[in-house]
Amino acid sequence: MKSSVTSSDPGDLEELRTLLINSAEKLAGPGAFILKPGLPGDGSPILMHNAEHQPVVISFDPGNGETALINGLRAVERLTATRPEPQPARLVVVSQTLLPASTTILANCSRLQLYVVRRQEINDTTRLWLDRVQTDTPDESAAEQPLPEDRPTLAKSSIDADSLPALSEEEASYFRQL
């Protein structure tokens, strides 16, 4: 069987977003799930929750790591202002290019992770390679933590009911009780 492997650029922002969303557990740990695929603001970083229900912001820019970092920091700041969490969000920055002075930045920011992204086409299937930029200091976030006992219920609907068609009297009466 003949197989073909080719490397390519990570593509445009939206394609990279989709690939990163599908790599949620690689970036935010097992049990991570997407809370918002795009936060408001430049670059629309992705908001995830890890298994411990702690926020993780994924900021990315295929060609410019500095832009991704700045966009991510802004998103974390906005998030902290609007949704006070017990702990500030963890920030993951993904780019094709390595940030200048990345080891110094990492050494000074314990809640920051940097990844260099590469895309490969293997037999017509797109695969995303994420290489984590490491420092010499141990990564506290990688330590396993027990799952919380309490299981929060899903949040109430955020749908704007005003934009939906009104119910007739008969329909409203039907849905009044189970």
Site residues for other proteins per CB under 8 A: 14-15, 17-19, 21-22, 24-25, 30-31, 33-38, 44, 49, 51, 53, 124-126, 147-148, 151-159, 161, 163-165, 167-168, 170-171, 174-178
Nearest to 151 by CA among 52, 11, 54: 52
**Which C-beta is closer to other proteins: that of 81 or that of 155?**
155
Nearest to 121 by CA among 25, 10, 16: 10
CB of 8 to other proteins, least distance (A): 11
CB of 117 to other proteins, least distance (A): 16
Tell me if 76 sits within 8 A of 91, measured CB to CB: yes
- Residue 106 bridge partners (DSSP): none
**Which C-beta is closer to other proteins: that of 53 or that of 132?**
53
What whole-number distance in Å separates Cα of residue 125 and Cα of residue 3? 11
CB of 121 to other proteins, least distance (A): 8
CB of 169 to other proteins, least distance (A): 12
**Which C-beta is closer to other proteins: that of 98 or that of 147?**
147
Q: Which phi-psi region, left, alpha or beta, contains residue 104 (left: φ > 0; alpha: ψ -120 to 50)?
A: alpha
Strands 55-61 and 90-95: parallel
CB of 107 to other proteins, least distance (A): 31
**Which C-beta is closer to other proteins: that of 136 or that of 176?**
176
What whole-number distance in Å separates Cα of residue 119 and Cα of residue 121? 7
Please give the single-letter amino acid code of residue 138.
P
**Which C-beta is closer to other proteins: that of 5 or that of 138?**
5
